[in-house]
């Protein structure tokens, strides 16, 4: 299982790199669970990140506006992101989500067919009116994405496991793999939950809070020592 760490500025990027994170995920927590950061932050992150590591960028907890979101995805792609993550916040059904992600995939793959597009749903979708998290694998498959992901929309102390149990997450992973796609899971993942995700076959675990001082995703700072601890759990 590989480790994705989500820094919010360049100093944190350096800590994540020094800690050995496999994927450096550029986001802006002030704009939401999958809040978008600025193009120059993505660009500088790619410039300082070793070539053997990938840079991911979120384009936001997006509305059901395929044109707007496609332009955001284009911005992330040309700024240097290898992974482009879209939070399906404003899509309320399968058809809307597939339409939006299909346009994003077309946009990104025209820039570089090797770039990776991630359809990200929310385990707590019922709290915000977003698309059912358990159909994200089908949405990813039918829109041509590379990765199906789950996160949590509201960062209020509840984790991924508070909304979906181990059995449901295992089924999510199995379905995703049956389509030939990778699976990424995030959502205030705690250190002790990492071995569970590894056991059920998760490909990528996304973390911010557990890599920050005091476990605080908003006010804490990513530290390389904490990243190393998380990486060891992913590798064991």
- Cα–Cα distance between 40 and 58 in angstroms, integer? 14
Average pLDDT of 136-162? Answer: 95
| CB half-sphere exposure, 217, CA atoms < 13 A | 27
Dump pLDDT digits (tens) for 9-23: 999 999 999 999 999
pLDDT in tens, 99-138: 999 999 999 999 999 999 999 999 999 999 999 999 999 9
Catalytic residue positions, numbered: 27, 85
For 40-92, the pLDDT digits (tens) are: 999 999 999 999 999 999 999 999 999 999 999 999 999 999 999 999 999 99
- The answer to whether the beta carbons of residues 147 and 162 sit under 8 Å apart is no
Architecture, CATH, for domain 2-235: Alpha-Beta Barrel (3.20)
> Residue 121, class by beta-carbon neighbours within 10 Å (0-12 exposed, 13-18 middle, 19+ buried)?
buried
| pLDDT at residue number 155 | 85
Provide the percentage of residues in the chain whose pLDDT is more than 90: 92
Give 185-223 pLDDT, tens digit per residue: 999 999 999 999 999 999 999 999 999 998 888 889 999
pLDDT confidence of residue 219: 85
* Distance of alpha carbon 159 from alpha carbon 189, whole angstroms: 6
Angle at 118 between CA 140 and CA 53, to 5 degrees: 145
pLDDT at position 236 over 80: no
């Amino acid at each position: 299982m590989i480790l994705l760490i989500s820094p919010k500025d360049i100093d944190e990027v350096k800590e994540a790199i020094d800690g050995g994170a496999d994927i450096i995920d550029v986001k802006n927590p002030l704009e939401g669970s999958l809040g978008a950061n600025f193009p120059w932050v993505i660009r500088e992150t790619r410039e300082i990140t070793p070539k053997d590591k990938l840079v991911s960028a979120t384009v936001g907890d997006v509305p059901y506006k395929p044109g707007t979101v496609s332009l955001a995805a284009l911005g992330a792609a040309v700024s240097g992101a290898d992974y482009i993550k879209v939070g399906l916040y404003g899509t309320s059904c399968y058809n809307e989500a597939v339409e939006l992600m299909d346009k994003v995939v077309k946009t990104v793959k025209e820039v570089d067919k090797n770039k990776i597009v991630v359809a990200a749903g929310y385990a707590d979708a019922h709290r915000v009116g977003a698309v059912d998290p358990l159909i994200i694998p089908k949405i990813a498959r039918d829109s041509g994405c590379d990765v199906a992901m789950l996160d949590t929309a509201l960062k209020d102390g509840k984790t991924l496991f508070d909304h979906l149990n181990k059995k449901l997450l295992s089924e999510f992973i199995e379905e995703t793999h049956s389509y030939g796609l990778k699976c990424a899971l995030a959502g205030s993942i705690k250190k002790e939950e990492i071995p569970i995700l590894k056991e059920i076959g998760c490909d990528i675990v996304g973390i911010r809070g557990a890599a920050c001082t005091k476990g605080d995703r908003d006010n804490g700072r990513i530290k390389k020592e904490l990243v190393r601890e998380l990486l060891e759990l992913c590798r064991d």
